[in-house]
Amino acid sequence: MVSSSGPDSARRVTIHDVARSAGVSRQTVSRALNGKDEIERSTKQRVLDAARELGYRPSRFARGLVRQDTTTIGLVIPDLRNPFFTEVAASALECARARGWHVVVYDTADRPAEELGTLQVIGSQVDGVVGYFSCAEDELDRYTRGMPLVLIGREHRMARFSSIRIDGQEGVREAVAHLVAKGHTMIGMLDHDNRAEPSLRREWFTAAALGHGIDPGRVAGAEQSADGGGAGLRALLAAHPEITAVFTFNDIVAVGALREARRLGRSVPADLAVIGFDGLQLGALMEPPLSSVALDTHRLGSLAVEQVGRLLTGADPLPPEDLEVRAVLRPAGSS
Amino acid sequence: MVSSSGPDSARRVTIHDVARSAGVSRQTVSRALNGKDEIERSTKQRVLDAARELGYRPSRFARGLVRQDTTTIGLVIPDLRNPFFTEVAASALECARARGWHVVVYDTADRPAEELGTLQVIGSQVDGVVGYFSCAEDELDRYTRGMPLVLIGREHRMARFSSIRIDGQEGVREAVAHLVAKGHTMIGMLDHDNRAEPSLRREWFTAAALGHGIDPGRVAGAEQSADGGGAGLRALLAAHPEITAVFTFNDIVAVGALREARRLGRSVPADLAVIGFDGLQLGALMEPPLSSVALDTHRLGSLAVEQVGRLLTGADPLPPEDLEVRAVLRPAGSS
DNA sequence: TTGAAAGCGGTACCAA
DNA sequence: TTGGTACCGCTTTCAA
């Protein structure tokens, strides 16, 4: 039975309380708890009992303060439920774990407005940040105040930052060439919808299409989800009924388009060829399996963690040419 | 140009260094950095410049030590790439964010051996833990030393722990009844494969099958992945070719079974009905859409976070009867 | 508006 | 084997 002394204030139980309760000094408590040798069995037991009795738990801050060894990195992603980010996150976790680092994950729920709030909050919780951001660089700068930051899938200008480039130019070219080889000339695209500027992927698509003398203007926006892909495909086909093939911003959207095509009675790939982007494992489960301009998500996550680690420790950062992930076409049943 | 004083030791830049560099006291630096009012503009700017120059970043430990407000919870899951855990994790993140808490995610890579190591490491990094564990309770106890721990999908005996129960009994009964109503009498199951003891889900299946006078013995094990589901289905059909319907341990396995059935030339649901467990969003993308005994993963994640929060703050914990998530049958095209 | 001093809760290094 | 003391880096009184 623990007799609570005084009014039961919710004060934190400190090492001091345990020491007093066990009738020893704080250092002895520390020794007992950390399994040091220089302590008598009986004393140790007494301390351990007292600690348990009082429900004592060492403060991670106090501990971290004195032995400054733990590294924690923040991972910021727009939507953990999107399998692409899941894969990146899983790789990042894996890579961090191998180094004994901790990862705090923040999901901005696809709301760019959340990014800055997250950064602010993250600031005092992690040693470095890795992730996807859509806000302006000077804002990132203001909210990270000197903390290493590695951007994924986005260029950076400020020297303080680092970024992992996604180079899909060649992969998208392959995709379009592949479609052309199959006889397609009316190729549409389902792009991003929530940004003012057209996506890089769209630029790649445009360049590739023009290279084959194909009109790159058959584009519709789609929300980043399977349902969004379905709706997008309907809109695209309504505007451009002549389309026989479609390239999408990513696999999730492609999967939705695939399903929608089926609902519209168009068989894939006979009536409509579909090629996604990302190369998610999910694509292989579809019927037909999804063709995709595939990214090595594992490499993406690892590179980001590796780089933030180097920035953190002051080691030589990886040179820009190594900080790049190339996408390659992985053709499958859908095209 | 920053002239590094002395040999360039990688010592940490502290508030003291900034203070000296700016010619003010530490407190003034603190004020400037934390945007307090009681400071002259010019002083503030000078301090900020010095801080930037030196690449100063406040220690999160020192800061946390003095203003003890941040709460961090650890989320331990076997495999972030498994969409079920992704959904749980996403919900937990969401719920934690709403409370201003941070979540450190640990992926044990499906290796039970990693659990204890993770717990040990986690111990000094978080205030409470939520997650999936397969190791024995006394081990959990030993490695968490007084830290609140909420187990998901697993019973607990020790009073220190709390757990979120998954009750699928009724849902599985519905599933079997549904299959029986469709005329199936030869119903198999693809169970877990990596545990000695049969799963709870299998027990539910057995009870439900017996309730309809159906032989519950047509069971094969499957690895927790789509490929595992495929292989499992082959094994199951080889041993019991008479089977016309199959219930699986979870949706991932079901998805693999679905794909394998197609490859074997069995059409679903005509030749083989398939019902999964979990109710993943993924199931809706399949062709045909997957029937599933669905769990409210969102509730699962939220409950766990809510409960660990109560344990943490000393608020009244939720009573056991509220800590339960019931599964219900969500029939779709595959059955 | 600024600075001095006192902790926050631990651990490490000594001396006892 | 133990305890005293000096920090770890920062914020919060309280005086100046």
Residue nearest to nucleotide D2 (CA to C1'): A28
**Predicted TM-score (pTM) of this structure:** 0.89
> What is the rounded distance in angstroms from the CA atom of residue B232 to the CA atom of residue B258?
11
CB distance from A130 to chain B under 8 Å?
Answer: no
Amino acid at site A11: R
Chain C bases closer than 7 angstroms to a protein Cβ: 1-5, 7-13
Question: What mean pLDDT is predicted for residues B314-322?
Answer: 88
CA B163 to chain centroid, in Å, comes to 13
How many other C-beta atoms lie within 10 A of the C-beta of residue B186? Answer: 15
CATH number of A169-296: 3.40.50.2300
Cβ burial B112-139 (10 Å sphere, 16+ → b, else e)? eebbbebbebbbbbbbbbbbbbeeebee
Amino acid at site A289: P
| Start-to-end CA span in chain A (Å) | 72
Q: B249 and B192 in contact (C-beta within 8 Å)?
A: yes
Measured at the CA of A151, the angle between CA A189 and CA A330, to 5 degrees, comes to 40
- Which residues have a Cβ under 8 Å from the Cβ of A198 and sit 6 or more positions away? A191
Q: Which of A290, A218, A220 is nearest to A252 (CA)?
A: A290
Strands B219-221 and B187-191: parallel
**Model pLDDT, residue A142:** 82
What CATH class is the domain A72-167+297-327? alpha beta
Which residues of B are less than 8 Å from A287 in CB distance? 259, 262, 286-287
**Model pLDDT, residue A10:** 55
Q: Which residue of B has its CA nearest to A103?
A: B104
Inform me whether the pLDDT recorded for B94 exceeds 50. yes
Tokens of B184: 């199936």
Which residues of B are less than 8 Å from A64 in CB distance? 60-61, 64, 124
A275 membership: H or E segment, kind and range: strand A273-278
CA B171 to chain centroid, in Å, comes to 22
Sign of CA dihedral B108, B110, B111, B115: positive
Residue B81 to residue A100, Cβ atoms within 8 A: no
Provide the total of helices (H) and of strands (E) in chain B, helices listed first.
12, 12
> What is the rounded distance in angstroms from the CA atom of residue A183 to the CA atom of residue A23?
86
- Which residues have a Cβ under 8 Å from the Cβ of B13 and sit 6 or more positions away? B54, B55, B56, B57
CATH number of B15-66: 1.10.260.40
Tokens of B268: 């679903």
Name the one residue in this structure whose structure tokens are 């140009």: B1
**For residue range B3-20, what is the model confidence (pLDDT) as tens digits?**
333 333 456 789 999 998
Sign of CA dihedral B120, B122, B128, B132: negative
Q: A159 and A318 in contact (C-beta within 8 Å)?
A: no
Contacts 24+ apart (CB under 8 A), A321-324: A323/A162, A323/A163, A323/A164, A323/A165, A324/A164, A324/A165, A324/A166, A324/A167
> What is the rounded distance in angstroms from the CA atom of residue B78 to the CA atom of residue B56?
38
Residue A146 to residue B51, Cβ atoms within 8 A: yes
Strands B328-330 and B291-294: antiparallel
- Please report how the helices B200-211 and B169-181 are oriented relative to each other, as an axis angle in degrees rounded to 10: 40
Looking at CA atoms only, how far is residue A214 from chain B in angstroms?
Answer: 31
Q: DSSP characters for B61-126?
A: HHHHHHSTT--EEEEEES-TTSHHHHHHHHHHHHHHHHTT-EEEEEE-TT-HHHHHHHHHHHHTT-
User: Which of helix, strand or coil describes residue A224?
Assistant: coil
**Model pLDDT, residue A277:** 98
Residue B81 to residue A87, Cβ atoms within 8 A: yes
Q: Using a 7 Å CB cut-off, which residues contact strand D?
A: A 23-28, 31, 37-40, 43-44, 62, 65-66, 68; B 12, 14-16, 26-27, 29-31, 33-34, 56-59, 61-63, 65-67
Q: A130 and A74 in contact (C-beta within 8 Å)?
A: yes
Inform me whether the pLDDT recorded for B41 exceeds 90. no
Distance of B238 CA from C15 C1′ (whole Å): 77
Q: A54 and A18 in contact (C-beta within 8 Å)?
A: yes
* Phi/psi at B180 (5° precision): -60, -40
> What is the rounded distance in angstroms from the CA atom of residue A294 to the CA atom of residue A330?
6
Residue A60 to residue B89, Cβ atoms within 8 A: no
**Model pLDDT, residue B5:** 37
Residue B94 to residue A83, Cβ atoms within 8 A: no
Looking at CA atoms only, how far is residue B243 from chain A in angstroms?
Answer: 23
**Model pLDDT, residue B11:** 67
| Start-to-end CA span in chain B (Å) | 72
Q: Which residue of A has its CA nearest to B286?
A: A286
Q: Which of A78-87, A300-309, B24-33, B243-252 has the lowest mean pLDDT?
A: B24-33
Residue A147 to residue B286, Cβ atoms within 8 A: no
Scanning A163-222 for CB atoms below 8 A from B yields: none
**Model pLDDT, residue B3:** 34
Instruction: Pick B334 or A111 by higher pLDDT.
Output: B334
Tokens of A303: 């590179």
Scanning A9-68 for CB atoms below 8 A from B yields: 10, 12, 51-52, 55-65, 68
Regions of chain A with pLDDT less than 70: 1-11, 195
* Phi/psi at A275 (5° precision): -130, 125
Domain ranges of chain A: 15-66, 72-167+297-327, 169-296
Q: Is the peptide bond before A241 cis (omega within 30 degrees of 0)?
A: no
Residue B52 to residue A146, Cβ atoms within 8 A: yes
Q: How far is CA A278 from CA A167, A249, A302, in A?
A: 12, 9, 16
**For residue range B168-214, what is the model confidence (pLDDT) as tens digits?**
999 999 999 999 999 999 999 999 887 677 789 999 999 999 999 99
Tokens of A147: 């903390």
Measured at the CA of B212, the angle between CA B210 and CA B214, to 5 degrees, comes to 60
Instruction: Pick B66 or A182 by higher pLDDT.
Output: A182
> What is the rounded distance in angstroms from the CA atom of residue A217 to the CA atom of residue A233?
15
Amino acid at site B209: A
- Does this chain's domain B15-66 share its CATH topology with B72-167+297-327? no
Which residues of B are less than 8 Å from A106 in CB distance? 93, 97
**Model pLDDT, residue B195:** 67
**For residue range A311-333, what is the model confidence (pLDDT) as tens digits?**
888 788 999 899 999 999 999 99
Amino acid at site B254: A
**Model pLDDT, residue A36:** 81
DSSP A78: S
Instruction: Pick B242 or A66 by higher pLDDT.
Output: B242
DSSP A82: S
Q: Which of A268, A285, A275, A221 is nearest to A248 (CA)?
A: A275
Residue B90 to residue A107, Cβ atoms within 8 A: yes
Name the one residue in this structure whose structure tokens are 């934190």: A12
Q: DSSP characters for A5-43?
A: -SS---PPP-HHHHHHHHTS-HHHHHHHHTT-SSS-HHH
> What is the rounded distance in angstroms from the CA atom of residue A161 to the CA atom of residue A149?
5
**Model pLDDT, residue A55:** 85
Q: Nearest CB to A89: which of B80, B124, B281? A: B80
Q: Nearest CB to B86: which of A86, A100, A121? A: A86
